[in-house]
Amino acid sequence: MRQWKAAHGEGDHRAVIPRDPEVSQEGEVDWGTASVWMAGQLRQIKLFVMRSRYSGKPFLRAYPWERQQMFFDAHMRAFAYYGGVFRQLVYDNLTAALLDRLTHHCHIYEFDWESIRLTQSLKRKSKRK
């Protein structure tokens, strides 16, 4: 391979080996969706996945939907599975996950008029200058 690379102008490139994560220090968390047959019907389920970055050993749990109680339940069960808590958890798109869980049972209203409080606050700030 080195000879072929040298013959084709690839030159000497150094390999970069990523640092191995320390044992039981880091975990990764994500949610996914799967389709399963239950009671003769095709249904969508939500999958919680936590994986040890060191061993790659996954924990997987299925839920009927993504809600805050499932979020916490999944973490507690995963920590019990691994026998402890990772010092660092890396979430895939945590912002979207949190927004989804926090806004699940609420209504979001958008108004197209100017906020009276914002207008008054800006007037006060301009007077101070």
Please provide the DSSP assignment of 39-101 as one string: TTEEEEEEEEEEEETTT--EEEEEESS--HHHHHHHHHHHHHHHTS--SEEEETTHHHHHHHH
Length reported for the chain: 129
Given a cut of 60, whether residue 119 has pLDDT beyond it is yes
3-state secondary structure of 11: coil
Which is nearest to 82 in space by CA: 108, 104, 54? 54
More confident residue, 49 or 121: 49
More confident residue, 68 or 1: 68
Checking DSSP bridges between strand 58-63 and strand 88-91, what pairing results, if any? unpaired
Given a cut of 60, whether residue 95 has pLDDT beyond it is no
What confidence score (pLDDT) does residue 125 get?
A: 75
